[in-house]
Amino acid sequence: MALVLLFLNIILINFINGLPVSDDDIVIIDNIDNSIDDSDVIDLSSLQPNAFGSPDNESGDALAAWTESSLMNAEETGRYAEGDILIPKYARNGVRDQSFRWPKGHIPYVIEGQYSQQQRDTIMKAIADYHRLTCIRFVPYSGQTDYIVIKSANTGCWSSVGRLGGRQEVNLQSPGCLSKKGTVLHELLHAIGFMHEQSRPERDDFVKVKYENIKSGSENNFRKEDTKRSNDFGISYDYNSVMHYSEYAFSKNSKKTIEPMISGVTLGQREGLSRSDVKKINNMYNCKKDEPQTGWVGSIWQSLFGDKSKYN
Ligand SMILES: [Zn+2]
């Protein structure tokens, strides 16, 4: 009897796990103000001047040599600011040290890259995660002024931060940038408006940067943002963020370049958005999208996800 109950339980849990989260399960209050004001501005000045440049094939070649067994993440191989942040010189935005949020969190997109069906599925799964967990909506491009183009040029994995105005690119070179859904989530999260987690002003309270192990010339990638110019959206430092570097990012000697201050955590996961990533996005976009807490949906949700630090 106990065995039968256990069996039924496993079937039930598998069934629930496989269920997509329907909009009925989540309370959405669409109260986003569409007008541009100061709070819509994303400050890019801390990236100056090395974030402004052109895509380069050397970054593409470095990524082509990268494999999944590497100690560092795919997007940590680029020669751009912090590895994967690039604001192309041809960006139309006249004010270079600012970008903006996307009105209503709607991001028109078009996929121009050459991808296999499986790689395309990886991109669509990442987009589905944003739709399921946040108010961000990637909408197929249909002539909007501001939009993103997902490309597969031989220039590595990179994105700008926030909305620049006009056409802007997110490059996801094949196959390196498509090997993990988290890399796609990561680059899209830059486009949504976020920087790297370890560049938060208070990061030295949470991680130790080991400069002696960093490749010469890559030290700038470990800069911190200015407290006055950054916004944590009320969310504390998150080791599990999909925006955090891996422990070996830009290492010259296969030793760690960044170490958590506490034991038992791993940095640089690229499996899915963390719970704090989700909250931060929804706070930035003034979106009230709550986890279900009550009722049978809420109790199952909390039992499955409530004590875990990430969704997937
Ligand atoms: Zn990045």
Task: Indicate the pLDDT class of residue 93, thresholds 50, 70 and 90.
Answer: low
Q: How far is the CA of 140 from the centre of ligand 1 (A)?
A: 24
Q: What is the DSSP string of 51-74?
A: TEE---HHHHHHHHT--TTSSS-G
Distances (CA, A) of 254 to 61, 250, 251, 278: 20, 9, 6, 32
Distance (angstroms) between ligand 1 centre and the Cα of 85 equals: 6
pLDDT in tens, 52-64: 899 999 999 999 9
Distance (Å, rounded) from C-alpha 230 to C-alpha 241? 17
CA 64 from chain centre, in angstroms, equals 21
**CA gap 95, 41 in Å, rounded:** 11
Annotated catalytic, 112? Answer: no
The token pair at 110 is: 């078009």
- Whether pTM exceeds 0.85: no
Query: What are the Cα distances from residue 189, in Å, to 24, 87, 130?
Result: 25, 15, 9
* Residue 105 Cα to ligand 1 middle (Å): 20
- Which H helix or E strand runs over 138? strand 137-140
For 54, residues 6+ apart whose C-beta sits below 8 A from its C-beta are: 88, 89
Span 166-210, pLDDT tens digits: 999 999 999 999 999 999 999 999 999 999 999 999 999 999 999
pLDDT over 70 (residue 12): no
Kindly report, residue by residue over 237-263, the tens digit of the pLDDT: 999 999 999 999 999 999 999 999 999
The larger pLDDT score, comparing residue 80 to residue 4, is at 80
In whole angstroms, give the CA distance from residue 63 to residue 79: 10
- Cβ atoms of residues 308 and 48 within 8 Å: no
| 140 CB-near residues (< 8 Å, 6+ apart) | 108, 109, 110
CA-to-CA separations, 148 to 54, 158, 167, 224, 303, in angstroms, rounded: 17, 12, 6, 27, 37
Residue from 75, 82, 169, 187 carrying the catalytic annotation: 187
Distance 203 CA to ligand 1 centre (A): 16
The answer to which of 5-9, 37-41, 72-76, 270-274 has the lowest mean pLDDT is 5-9
Structure tokens at 68: 């999944």
* Average pLDDT over every residue of 37-42: 74
Distance from C-alpha of 90 to C-alpha of 252, rounded to nearest angstrom: 33
Cα(20) to centroid(ligand 1), Å: 28
Return the exposure string of 178-205: e unless at least 16 CB atoms fall within 10 Å of the residue's CB, then b. Answer: bbbbbbbbbbbbbbbbbbbbbbbeebee
| Nearest in space to 86 (alpha carbons), one of 59, 125, 118 | 59
Asked if residue 131 belongs to a known ligand binding site, the reply is no
Residue 244 assigned ligand-binding role: no
What are the tokens at 234?
A: 């009320």
**What spacing in Å lies between the alpha carbon of 4 and ligand 1's midpoint?**
48
